[in-house]
Chains A and B, each alone.
Chain A
Amino acid sequence: MQRHLISAADLTRDDAVLILDTAEEMARVADRPIKKLPTLRGRTIVNLFFEDSTRTRISFEAAEKRLSADVINFTAKGSSVSKGESLKDTAQTLEAMGVDAVVIRHGASGAPYRLANSGWIDAAVINAGDGTHQHPTQALLDAFTMRRRLVGRDAGLGQDLSGKRITIVGDVLHSRVARSNVDLLHTLGAEVTLVAPPTLVPVGVGSWPCAVSYDLDSTLPKSDAVMMLRVQRERMNAAFFPTEREYSRRYGLDGDRMAKMPEHAIVMHPGPMVRGMEITAEVADSERCTVVEQVANGVSIRMAVLYLLLGGNEPAVTHARTTEEK
């Protein structure tokens, strides 16, 4: 694996499967009475959040603490980033403090890439979401959730998602989750279809390794998993679609639509869900909806990523792992 995790596209199939397998080991720790490993004792990790996201920050923080790392939370919200100086200045401050890894969330696409590649800092950089670009650990936890549900918890070890058909629905244009998932799911052998009104599909999507459809109903019967993306209401004011009702009618997932999916198919959502527009309460609360599992899986995935990036060449949990695997 590389030293940083900036984009899901940077992961090879073997990297990704290794992370998913490691996350299974990490998940077992959550079932223990003491949910803590000594693995990253003495290491310092900073959660550098320029953009508010309590859910993602808490998930990383839980992962870091379960691995016994020293954790510093730095929230830059409200500080002036208009001239862009604060990213570099903050990075250099952290460097001076001897930080081993930086988990960064930033509103600007490419900010984690710059942090990792500008020589400002030596620490490992983990992208926790940048602008409308990437959110690789989200894609990994989604893939982990799919593998557990569609392949099996133990049967899935060492496996990818070959042949699985995944449909991603909603605001693809503004979604780092969609970009990350398309990259990773393709690497793992799945067939991805994006479904959205044409206004919410980026120009240039033709080069992505996926199909694009404007018709949700015809896609559902062919889906093993349907991932609903958050659609922000303000997109309506920018004329991306006429009304909330029309959006729901054409692209929302309700009970009737869910009934068109195969028996085994699951419904996913990166959260937080806004019930009503993109997903009805009936669907959100159903057995097939994996939102709560996704949150739990997020911690396991982030433990696996931190462990592997920060030189995890000792046993993570139980059995030894060779450096060649990295």
Chain B
Amino acid sequence: MSKILIRGAKVLGGEPQDVLIDGETIAAVGTGLSAEGAEVIEAGGKVLLPGLVDLHTHLREPGREDSETVLTGTRAAASGGYTAVFAMANTFPVADTAGVVEQVWRLGQEHGYCDVQPIGAVTVGLEGRKLAELGAMHESAAGVTVFSDDGKCVDDAVIMRRALEYVKAFGGVVAQHAQEPRLTEGAQMNEGIVSAELGLGGWPAVAEESVIARDVLLAEHVGSRVHICHLSTAGSVEIVRWAKSRGIDVTAEVTPHHLLLTDEMVRTYNPVYKVNPPLRTERDVHALREALADGTIDIVATDHAPHPHEDKDCEWAAAAMGMVGLETALSVVQETMVDTGLLDWAGVADRMSSKPAQIGQATGHGRPVSAGEPANLTLVDTAYRGQVDPAGFASRSRNTPYEGRELPGRVTHTWLRGKATLVDGKLT
């Protein structure tokens, strides 16, 4: 097996060190390590992190291969510094059987750019009525541990309760897309000052908060673990903070775009800003940043949602909801959390690698950068600044809200179990 010596990298943002990879594992971390027999990567003060883990990715395969495939999506992930992604279940067919989740998992293994851990649907066809075969999906080769009807809310309180209870048998977790459906009928954007002016249907914060409040109480009642997807409001932060203080086993994620963008962008009527949950207000953005810093929000997840050009190049109401995010996530987190002093790089490693791996039980990912650990690593040039150019994306879709925007940081190298998937910013 090949040896790689990464020389002079700031491991988790600390003092420069050498990291020696031997085969699939990290052989040594230290100063002045011998380069004998190893390919040398001069890190030159770049930051070395454990490979990033995304608990919330839409890969679109099977069914919408025109927007993304497992191959293009995992190449995008590797470009963004990820070594593992959890693929949401809202595909066609829906990932609600052992057969579909195994297919997605195998494609990830075959392509070799990034481990793909499928998320299983909670209910058959995401219809919210009948539990999917959660146990069979767990026992399949894919070993599903995270279940979600993402895109839709498990809004029936009894179905949610049963799902939370049922997955306890194998240590699973239900990831909830919190959206009260009646309160969000016809919703197009955050309900508030901007929606009132633009005459677009409002998506009120309370539609998210009321479901989170219910679900943490359900999790407490049945002694289960619940994960809140893409939390987006200041009120949601307060509820999760309260639940944690009460000892309820809840975790939560925030997307990069909710850390940076606000509903003011919707004034352009450009559907590139149309996303679910919608962009909120400046006040929400600051509450989310602080909550991620203090650990109330556990992780950053991308909600990478690729859509073909024609689904966005139209009037707002007709456009699809979602943004791509894998290739810009780390830059947005650097801008909003690191460059603002809210989080150091060790904190980023925790929120974007260790914690998501723990929540999703992706053993082998999110490990410390130390000898004996799997060599899942990403190297980041944190001094870089440049404009986002979607033409260079590995993702099949280009629906990024950051086109032409200057963002800091660039992932230059990614290693998946010692094998380089990204070298000098180019996919292998």
> A272 on the interface (CB 8 Å rule)?
no
Q: Which of B8-16, B74-82, B195-203, B289-297 lies at the interface?
A: B195-203
Q: Which of A85, A114, A179, A205 contacts B316 (CB 8 A)?
A: A114
* B318 pairs with A131, CB closer than 8 A: no
> A322 on the interface (CB 8 Å rule)?
no
Q: With A110-B198, A179-B197 as given contacts, are A203 and B318 in contact (CB-CB < 8 Å)? A: no
* A88 pairs with B196, CB closer than 8 A: no
* B315 pairs with A114, CB closer than 8 A: yes
Which residue from chain B places its CB closest to the CB of A132 in the assembled complex?
B199
With A and B bound together, what is the CA distance between A206 and B194 in angstroms?
11
Q: Which of B17-25, B252-260, B306-314, B322-330 lies at the interface?
A: B306-314
Q: With A83-B311, A109-B200, A179-B197 as given contacts, are A203 and B317 in contact (CB-CB < 8 Å)? A: no
Complex interface: chain B residues within 8 A of A81 (CB): 318
> B319 on the interface (CB 8 Å rule)?
yes
> 8 Å CB contacts to B: which residues of A182-223?
202-208
Q: With A85-B310, A204-B192 as given contacts, are A176 and B315 in contact (CB-CB < 8 Å)? A: no
Q: With A113-B269, A204-B194 as given contacts, are A87 and B315 in contact (CB-CB < 8 Å)? A: yes
* B313 pairs with A204, CB closer than 8 A: no
Complex interface: chain A residues within 8 A of B199 (CB): 109, 130-134, 176, 179
Which residue from chain A places its CB closest to the CB of B311 in the assembled complex?
A83
Mask of B246-290 contacts with A, CB within 8 angstroms, 1/0: 000000000000000000000011100000000000000000000
The number of chain B residues with a CB under 8 A from chain A is 25
> A82 on the interface (CB 8 Å rule)?
yes
* A110 pairs with B192, CB closer than 8 A: no
With A and B bound together, what is the CA distance between A131 and B192 in angstroms?
17
> A84 on the interface (CB 8 Å rule)?
yes
* B311 pairs with A202, CB closer than 8 A: no
Mask of A100-114 contacts with B, CB within 8 angstroms, 1/0: 000000111111011
With A and B bound together, what is the CA distance between A133 and B196 in angstroms?
9
With A and B bound together, what is the CA distance between A111 and B111 in angstroms?
42
> B193 on the interface (CB 8 Å rule)?
yes
Q: Which of the listed residues B194, B196, B315, B316 has the most CB atoms from chain A within 10 Å of its own CB? A: B315
* A108 pairs with B202, CB closer than 8 A: no
- B residues with a Cβ closer than 8 A to A are 188, 191-200, 202, 204, 268-270, 310-311, 313-319
CB pairs A–B below 8 angstroms (9 shown)? A84-B311, A84-B315, A84-B319, A85-B310, A106-B315, A109-B317, A111-B315, A131-B200, A133-B199
- A residues with a Cβ closer than 8 A to B are 81-85, 87-88, 106-111, 113-114, 117-118, 130-134, 176, 179, 202-208
